[in-house]
Structure 1
Amino acid sequence: MRYLIILSSFLMSATTYAQNGVLTGTISASGNPLAYASVSLRGTSYGCTTDQYGIFKLAGIKPGEYVMVCSSIGYFAKHIRVKISGDTVIQNAELQEGSSKLSEVIVTGVSRATELRSNPVPIAVITRKEIQQSINTNIIDAITKGVPGVTAVTTGPNISKPFIRGLGYNRVLTLYDGIRQEGQQWGDEHGIEVDQYAMARAEVIKGPASLTYGSDALAGVINLIPYIPAGENGKLNGDWTTEYHTNNGLIASSLGLAYKKNDWKYAFWATGKTAHNYYNKVDGYVYNTAYQEYIFSGMARVDKPWGYSQFSAAAYNNKQEIPDGSRDSLTRRFTIQVAEGANDDIKNRPFAPVKWLTSYGITPLHQHIQHYRIYNKTEIKAGSGIFSTSLGWQQSVRREYNHPTQPEQPGLYVTLNTINYDFRYSPQVWHGWETSFGLNGIYQNNASKDATDFPIPDYGLFDIGAFAFAKKTFGKVDISGGIRYDTRHINWNDFYVGSNPTNGFEQKVSASDPAGKLQFPAFSHNYYGISGSLGFTYNISEHVLLKANIARGYRAPNITEIGSNGLDPGAHIVYLGNRNFKPEFSLQQDLGFIAYLKNADLALEVFNNNIENYIYQSRLNDENGNPVIIVPGNTTYQYQQSKARLYGAEFTFNLHPQATKWVEFDNSLAYVIGLNKNQKLIEQSNGAAKYLPFIPPLHWQSDLKFKWNASLGWFSKFWLRTGLDFFAAQNRFYALNDTETPTTGYTLAHAGVGSTIKRKSGKPICELFIQADNLFDVAYQSNLNRLKYFEYYTASPNGRSGIYNMGRNVSFKVVFTL
């Protein structure tokens, strides 16, 4: 494969360097070489990273004047005008250290690499360092702690579904290295199947990103960039992370290895996690919240003057318990289901054995998720343009075991196969215009296997969209925008279920089976939509920016919204869809003000989002006002559609005085209101349906950090931080049929300390982190925690209903440098 890639690109690159020039030099910071910094020529395909000595080299550059952009995370970008002739030009650059992220180079949400500061779309970046310096059980939790406006619907400690400004599920598109992540993300208890320890950074687009990615990016995009350990050429490099949590006994270990030989780079990651049930002072140990997770991934990449090609693969395996809230009505001790149907007496189930509560074993009632991913990314420099492709295959296998009398029989068993494709071309800059054109989409096939419950039909899906993007700078104004057209076809055949004589449950049967009943009548439909955006960034000065953007987003209904008609065992919900639903369209306006001052960062972002055909879940009651129970012990939800409006703001104020560089004070505030615009329903419900479900409350976060670069023996680079998370009460909720209930406010404190341990030679051995969340062991329920509604009784002796969030948790983490 290596020689095939080189040979296929030789003729293309052979004429590139005739009469062309070379740009080389050293990038440094504080007088020291800066390894792995990015160097590019603005508006072109020329770009590279520095080696371990801070040296870079760009060859084959056509003669002319360019702007060289030098950047690295944690430093301010530098712009230098250079004139290229047919000779070698030497240009060095010194970067200034800073905590502002205004100038980091990113690639998410736009069609070619651009600087964060010049992009009018609200985008945030969370780095690997920030991910490491907080307690996380998955990567989405890390993002919610570091990016204002991002929250998560959770089902236990290891399942978090991202929400951006009050919008989630299939409205948030999650990417892994630019490849859209496709699992069974329609369900509440379906998490993100990625390795949290293998992330270099996460990039978050707030707002419609349909222009680049099409459907399912109505709320925004989260792009997870894998981490590749850096090191010397020809030497095996890597790091090993080990972590322990006191609350649920989490034991985690992750190994990352990388090897670079000239133009070739290889990387491998292996991660394992196991945890028992988590604890809080209201519920004690919350039965059935343990999990085991194992992930393996690898990558091979070649970088040549003509571009690069990369092959990657990953295998994810997770056994995850899901609680059902079953407990004794008087003692509030958790109980376990041992019988089914008429033999199951919910009020007289046996207590969960004490030894099970802190056991690392997985109970028979759990879900088993496997996810496999193989993909290729190739980028070829065609003259001064770039042609890039992404091709991938994914398989998601989900089994949910909910039969205590037959623990080996899955209730839900679905297999989803997805093919991803993406083709883009960014031609040479023409009169200052940077343009890109692309075509991308997915093909999917989902099938039920040996199951007893069928919430969705077997279906096929084909999605394709084309877009055009343009950007130009006029003096102090950067303007960018584009347009896109998408079409999605989804279909399924008649789906019959009937009795399975071998186990007494239902099974999928053929249409000719005389005992079969039609659960999902055949369906075929095309959805299509036009989306786009237009925005500008006005550089009031080098450090003060004004941004404005208007975008139209598009999303086709997902499979549960149009096709569901059955029990999802892991969610304990019977979903009822509506095949007449129309696609969602949003029109969002964003306005932002950003200032990087000498001693502080200041950012204010406000947004207003109007959505046509908004789809949401609502509990179903009968005509007498009683909850509809189709499957005993499980609630019934029916999808609804109406107009909606969401508006709000995020405010960030980070203080980093130059006179006292050892102290940082970071603050953020996020607030969103979601309104249901179905006036008829609001009037009929006496205002209970006024607000949208799953809207986070006002959230204020404050963090104070102290840093000392002094050394003490083997210890150096000490840091200490402490902070508060304040969540206001949420009284603006979707109250119809008790779909949601009010949530009281709460304040959580956290603290942490860390240091680098070095050998006498100065080479680092490891980094040590000790951190605590919920320091004062507050008993609380997040309004986005689904376990809040896992309750069998209308009243309890202690006045507490549902399951509470995790109590105090202390984490010990060590990252060894290999």
Structure 2
Amino acid sequence: MMRNLAICLLILLSTLAKAQHISIKGTVMADTVPVSHVSVTISGTRLGTRTNASGYYEIRDVPAGNYRVTFSSVNYEQEKSAVTISSDKTVILNTNLKPFTSKLNEVVVTGVSRATTLRKNPVPIAVLSKTNLDQNISTNIIESIVKGVPGVNAVTTGPNISKPFIRGLGYNRVLTLYDGIRQEGQQWGDEHGIEIDPYGIGRVEVIKGPASLTYGSDALAGVINMIPFTQHDTVGFKGDFTSDYHTNNGMIGSSLGLYYKKSDWKYIFRATAKGAHDYRNNVDGYVYNSGFREVNLSAMARTDKKWGYTQIAATLYNNQQEIPDGSRDSLTRRFTKQVAEADNIKDRPIVPDNELRSYSIAPLTQSIKHYRVYSQSKFNVGEGSINAILGVQQNLRREYTHPTMVEQPALDIQLNTLNYEARYNLPIFSGFETTVGANGFYQTNRNKNATDLPIPDYNLFDIGTYLFVKKSFGKVDVSGGIRYDSRNIKWNDLYVGHDPQTGFGKQVQSNTPGANLQFPAFRHTYTGLSGSLGLTYNITDRLLLKANVARGYRAPNITEIGSNGLDPGAHIVYLGNRDFNPEFSLQQDVGFIAYLKNLDIVMEVFNNNINNYIYQAKLTDANGNPVVIVPGNSTYQYQQSKARLYGAEVTLNLHPEAIKWLSFNNSLAYVRGINKNEELIERSNGAAKYLPFIPPLHVRSELRGKLSGTYGIFSKIYAAVEADMYSAQDHFYALDNTETYTPGYTLINLSAGTAIKPKAAKTWFELFVQADNIFDKAYQSNLNRLKYFEYYTASPNGRSGIYNMGHNVSMKVVWHF
């Protein structure tokens, strides 16, 4: 009896063991890339799991039967597969996900406490992927963003110097972030760009407006967060090599990225180099001193554990950027170069042709170096989490403008910054997602071995605390919060005297004979309260209404309150005002979004009223004549008044279901900037009615064809033709010729690309070709600073200033291995 019972038990246990080992497993991919964090569930059961970093999943202990397995991810369309389990064998079920055609479910991380989807965020925000950036071929990352996001423009000083503007506001009103850490590189200036490697960026998130409470002062216009490319999650070694060439200025760029993952650790390294000679157009020919040479290095190590993650990273940026001054021969309009101090412009020699196409950097140049080391960590605490950021940056900027002493910098500034942040994401309670945090930075600026000192040595301490809350009420998502900022800035007396060895000025002690007090001591604390409240109404899954109201705050920057000297690279003497008050804005946004079967519609309308708006204008005397403090250089003085900016952005993308390979994409961006200083407007007979540096109406239309599927070794094939249209800008700050009328223009651009992957090959390629301004249109953007680089009141060809780049063909190859 006992023997028979034992045999029955063994048979039963054997059967149970076999049932317990029945499993479904496989790999989830998107094209050739594994997809992590995909939810895999079996309908009608409580069984499910998520894919790991390699896209692998396994569901164990599945009873026999017929099932439907569902694969879900916020960035991809849901996929369902039928499966039958009738034996003890493991079932292999692989799947390939398709990206969402609607961006409403795309996850964003900028400006919110936790990662959230676009549909739940009431703040106007745009996202550019790595694919978008690769297809928008440019000489710098800001120009790529301008091509992809309506409402974003750039003030430029040649091909490699671009400063972002959002809805007519720029400089340090736009907070530029690298991997969530604010970029501190003297962003208040015109004549240098953003110190970030364009090849190393995998994603860009753009917030329009002051509703980003988590970043604090200086985000009055919005935020541009550039997130490094770290998407290789496959265990083992991966890499990519990018090379591109531009025909107009001969720019050659190369970038090598290496990625290695083992267990819980990931390592990333990137090295980039690019260089160019002078660019050309059909009015100026080759524009002297517009070439550059740039080198970038970056590295990161990260570990992901059950308790959270931590990473440490470092970047190095080194740019040698030539400084154009626009001097020419008065008759031939050929460019000339300065060879002596305080020379007569009419006596300068003409630049030889071989120098215009040389990759060698001219003696009159600027050197910009930016070093950064930072760490980010997340610690899971129960149902909540703590995030911590700590970073150190150093920005070194030198300008060499002395032709007889090329090793002597005219400008030599060292800016050191310590960034910090800590925030606590509280456990979700009754649907409320709450975050409290504090962040800021400590900064020191020092003038080194310079002959010109436009700003003082200063110390700055900034701190802000914030509370952010979001919750969903059925179809309505609500979010908002409040923030308080405090910024203390101070400097001591700074004296300038004569250096008998160089014959120029230099910083001296107060008791030095002939010393002049250029920067009297100053100390002040600026404080501000900001906040936002917004909601999203989900009419349907693809039809949304959004509204947001936000109060922004910005403390005056160092040039606005402290400048008193020549910036040699800008050829401008800046004069600040230490009595300026902080800027406060009140902006309202209303948006309508529809992702329909054949059409995408995005419409955003905004109105922004700013108190204490600060801008720069040419300084004139009582007779209306320009004030000249340093011969050959203009003098600008900062002003402050009320202002209003209003406008709209509209996107209409037609993608007919009947012709799936074809799309017609259109965008419109409009902004008007009004100066509310009624007394000044009346005194100037209306010349001061508008704010300076406001972009005109911008319309972009693109007809694009894209083939799905694979054709031999080719896939992801596309081609496009684009019309990039700017209207004339006749609403400009005309007082004292600070700005002038800018005619409208239309540029026609072509682009094409494909992926190349032989069967069974482990490596593959992407090829992009782009032809900008194919008809070689001569034009000047109203945000091109070179437009005003002119020494003569009359020109033999009727043209003044320097024009933008002419016809340019760009070719880019990305090798994935």
What TM-score comes out, normalization by structure 2 length? Answer: 0.91
Within 5 A, what are the aligned runs for 1:114-193?
114-193=116-195
Distance 1:349 1:307 in 2: 63
**Residue type matched to 2:693 in 1?**
F
- Are the aligned partners of 2:28 and 2:55 in contact in 1 as well (CA < 8 Å)? no
Aligned to 1:287: 288
- Are the aligned partners of 1:782 and 1:805 in contact in 2 as well (CA < 8 Å)? yes
Deviation of 1:134 after TM superposition, in Å, equals 2.0
Distance 1:385 1:56 in 2: 28
Partner SS for 1:690 = coil
Matched, 1:327 2:339: no
- Are the aligned partners of 2:28 and 2:35 in contact in 1 as well (CA < 8 Å)? no
**Residue type matched to 1:576 in 2?**
L
**Residue type matched to 1:527 in 2?**
Y
Distance 1:360 1:321 in 2: 11
Partner SS for 1:536 = strand
Deviation of 1:48 after TM superposition, in Å, equals 8.2
**Residue type matched to 2:414 in 1?**
T
Aligned to 2:477: 478
Aligned to 1:355: 354
Change in CA separation of 1:507 and 1:668 when aligned onto 2, cut-off 3 Å: same
Deviation of 1:355 after TM superposition, in Å, equals 0.8
Change in CA separation of 1:387 and 1:756 when aligned onto 2, cut-off 3 Å: same
Matched, 1:794 2:797: no
**Residue type matched to 1:531 in 2?**
S
Distance 2:801 2:506 in 1: 33
Range that drifts further, 549-558 or 707-716: 707-716
Distance 2:493 2:645 in 1: 38
Within 5 A, what are the aligned runs for 1:257-656?
257-341=258-342, 344-656=343-655
Within 5 A, what are the aligned runs for 1:37-56?
37-38=36-37, 50-53=52-55, 55=57
Aligned to 2:114: 112
Deviation of 1:184 after TM superposition, in Å, equals 1.2
Aligned to 1:219: 221
Q: Deviations over 1:132-154 (max 9, x none)?
A: 11221111000000000000000
Aligned to 2:7: none
- Are the aligned partners of 1:135 and 1:773 in contact in 2 as well (CA < 8 Å)? no
- Are the aligned partners of 1:76 and 1:100 in contact in 2 as well (CA < 8 Å)? no
Change in CA separation of 1:616 and 1:727 when aligned onto 2, cut-off 3 Å: same
Within 5 A, what are the aligned runs for 1:87-106?
96-106=98-108
Aligned to 1:685: 684
Change in CA separation of 1:176 and 1:640 when aligned onto 2, cut-off 3 Å: same
Change in CA separation of 1:719 and 1:154 when aligned onto 2, cut-off 3 Å: same
- Are the aligned partners of 1:209 and 1:219 in contact in 2 as well (CA < 8 Å)? no
Distance 1:49 1:480 in 2: 31
Aligned to 2:776: 777
CA RMSD of aligned residues (A): 2.2
Partner SS for 2:560 = helix
- Are the aligned partners of 2:174 and 2:224 in contact in 1 as well (CA < 8 Å)? yes
- Are the aligned partners of 1:50 and 1:56 in contact in 2 as well (CA < 8 Å)? no
Change in CA separation of 1:261 and 1:488 when aligned onto 2, cut-off 3 Å: same
Equivalenced residue count is: 767
Partner SS for 1:540 = strand
The structure with the largest alpha-carbon Rg is 2
**Residue type matched to 1:478 in 2?**
D
Q: Deviations over 1:114-160 (max 9, x none)?
A: 11111000000011101111221111000000000000000000000
Change in CA separation of 1:289 and 1:34 when aligned onto 2, cut-off 3 Å: closer
Change in CA separation of 1:652 and 1:76 when aligned onto 2, cut-off 3 Å: farther
**Residue type matched to 1:208 in 2?**
P
Distance 2:582 2:648 in 1: 26
Distance 1:172 1:411 in 2: 28
Distance 2:677 2:261 in 1: 59
Distance 2:96 2:468 in 1: 33
- Are the aligned partners of 1:496 and 1:520 in contact in 2 as well (CA < 8 Å)? yes
Deviation of 1:467 after TM superposition, in Å, equals 0.2
Deviation of 1:112 after TM superposition, in Å, equals 1.4
Q: Deviations over 1:295-348 (max 9, x none)?
A: 00000000011110000001110000121110011100000011112xx01122
**Residue type matched to 2:169 in 1?**
L
Q: Deviations over 1:500-523 (max 9, x none)?
A: 011000000011212210000000
**Residue type matched to 1:572 in 2?**
H
Change in CA separation of 1:109 and 1:796 when aligned onto 2, cut-off 3 Å: same
Distance 2:740 2:52 in 1: 54
Deviation of 1:722 after TM superposition, in Å, equals 1.1
Distance 1:94 1:351 in 2: 62
Give aligned-pair identity as a percent.
Answer: 64
- Are the aligned partners of 1:229 and 1:238 in contact in 2 as well (CA < 8 Å)? no
- Are the aligned partners of 1:229 and 1:237 in contact in 2 as well (CA < 8 Å)? no
Change in CA separation of 1:55 and 1:665 when aligned onto 2, cut-off 3 Å: farther
Deviation of 1:760 after TM superposition, in Å, equals 2.7
**Residue type matched to 1:476 in 2?**
K
Deviation of 1:730 after TM superposition, in Å, equals 0.4
Partner SS for 1:211 = coil
**Residue type matched to 1:289 in 2?**
S
Partner SS for 1:102 = helix
Matched, 1:244 2:255: no
Distance 1:676 1:697 in 2: 16
Change in CA separation of 1:643 and 1:528 when aligned onto 2, cut-off 3 Å: same
- Are the aligned partners of 2:34 and 2:233 in contact in 1 as well (CA < 8 Å)? no
Change in CA separation of 1:231 and 1:388 when aligned onto 2, cut-off 3 Å: closer
Partner SS for 2:658 = coil
Deviation of 1:715 after TM superposition, in Å, equals 2.7
**Residue type matched to 2:375 in 1?**
N
- Are the aligned partners of 1:27 and 1:33 in contact in 2 as well (CA < 8 Å)? no
Change in CA separation of 1:526 and 1:220 when aligned onto 2, cut-off 3 Å: same
Deviation of 1:357 after TM superposition, in Å, equals 0.2
Distance 2:56 2:29 in 1: 10
Partner SS for 1:788 = helix
Q: Deviations over 1:517-567 (max 9, x none)?
A: 000000000000000000000001111000000000000000000000000
**Residue type matched to 2:657 in 1?**
Q
Deviation of 1:573 after TM superposition, in Å, equals 0.6
Change in CA separation of 1:76 and 1:748 when aligned onto 2, cut-off 3 Å: farther
Change in CA separation of 1:242 and 1:624 when aligned onto 2, cut-off 3 Å: same
Change in CA separation of 1:581 and 1:444 when aligned onto 2, cut-off 3 Å: same
Deviation of 1:761 after TM superposition, in Å, equals 1.5
Change in CA separation of 1:440 and 1:763 when aligned onto 2, cut-off 3 Å: same
Distance 1:652 1:346 in 2: 48
Deviation of 1:708 after TM superposition, in Å, equals 2.0
Distance 2:662 2:171 in 1: 38
Change in CA separation of 1:201 and 1:70 when aligned onto 2, cut-off 3 Å: farther
- Are the aligned partners of 1:26 and 1:33 in contact in 2 as well (CA < 8 Å)? no
- Are the aligned partners of 1:34 and 1:50 in contact in 2 as well (CA < 8 Å)? no
Partner SS for 1:530 = strand
**Residue type matched to 1:165 in 2?**
R
Consecutive unaligned residues of structure 2, counting only runs of 5 or more, are 1-22, 41-48, 60-69, 81-91
- Are the aligned partners of 1:135 and 1:772 in contact in 2 as well (CA < 8 Å)? no
Change in CA separation of 1:458 and 1:594 when aligned onto 2, cut-off 3 Å: same
**Residue type matched to 1:228 in 2?**
T
**Residue type matched to 2:254 in 1?**
S
Distance 1:635 1:804 in 2: 20
Deviation of 1:601 after TM superposition, in Å, equals 1.0
Distance 1:93 1:149 in 2: 39
Q: Which of 224, 231, 234 is residue 232 of structure 1 equivalent to?
A: 234
Deviation of 1:278 after TM superposition, in Å, equals 0.1
